[in-house]
Amino acid sequence: EAGVTQFPSHSVIEKGQTVTLRCDPISGHDNLYWYRRVMGKEIKFLLHFVKESKQDESGMPNNRFLAERTGGTYSTLKVQPAELEDSGVYFCASSQDAAGTSTDTQYFGPGTRLTVL
Amino acid sequence: LAKTTQPISMDSYEGQEVNITCSHNNIATNDYITWYQQFPSQGPRFIIQGYKTKVTNEVASLFIPADRKSSTLSLPRVSLSDTAVYYCLVGVFNQAGTALIFGKGTTLSVSS
């Protein structure tokens, strides 16, 4: 069974540009999560989808970030326009259980390392 | 501010038992405690999960006291390949309801 995949693995862009990150969850997993780790800080929750609906987006830092999950399969996270402080590693995770809490076993992708210059 | 606390780093030798404690004072009533392991350039990988008392699987044990305000991951007889960063993940109460909070991670270094 394929795990969670993320694309690209690395992205280097200039301040003000737009970047779109993609996450393909494990097939059949309704829950999809986005996290971010900024250098030297902890992994922070961004948002949680249940199928195509945003269950919790309380961790999204500001309106420059837009997450979508059309059709309830893969998800994209767009940053527009990117700022220097957006640099970090963006992780995606998926889970099968319906609780959508830390009760679920989340399976993580390898992450996308974003560098904004 | 809801948060979890873990030691930043720990050192050990092969064959020893390692215990890593995470404190989570504001853990949500119905949420579990989950521990993850992360190697460089990889995403976190599930190790073990529990709600209370003790849980054991083939790789680790998890000890949770009755008040659930902390948890201890126990790795028996570590090897060099256990060198990694270990995170606890819990749901904690905050002003918005319940938030998923990762600890900052504990970097475990195992030497021969």
Give tens-digit pLDDT for A43-75.
999 999 999 999 888 889 999 999 999 888 999
**Closest partner CB to A102 (pick from B41, B45, B90):** B90
Return the higher-pLDDT residue of B47 and B95.
B47
Among A5, A43, A46, A108, pick the best mutation site for testing chain B contact (most B Cβ within 10 A): A43
pLDDT for residue A65:
96
Cβ pair A101:B100 closer than 8 A: yes
Measured in degrees and rounded to the nearest 5, phi and psi for residue B27 equal -60, 140
Whether B57 has a pLDDT exceeding 60, the answer reads yes
Mean pLDDT of B48-57: 92
Output the average pLDDT for chain A.
91
Is residue A103 scored above 80 in pLDDT?
Answer: no
Nearest 5°: CA angle at B23, between B22 and B24? 120
- Percentage of chain A beyond pLDDT 70 is 93
Whether the predicted pLDDT of A97 surpasses 80: no
Residue A101: per-residue pLDDT: 58
What is the pLDDT at residue A56? 86
| In the block, residue with structure tokens 């996270």 | A77
- Which residues of chain A are at the B interface, by a Cβ-Cβ cutoff of 8 Å? 4, 33, 35, 41-45, 48, 58-59, 91, 93, 101-103, 105-111
Q: Has residue A92 got a pLDDT over 60?
A: yes
| Pairing of the two strands A107-108 and B61-64 | unpaired
- The sign of the dihedral angle between the CA atoms of A81, A58, A31, B61 is positive
Average pLDDT over residues B96-103: 75
Is residue B4 pLDDT above 90, yes or no?
no
- Nearest-CA distance from A15 to chain B in Å? 24
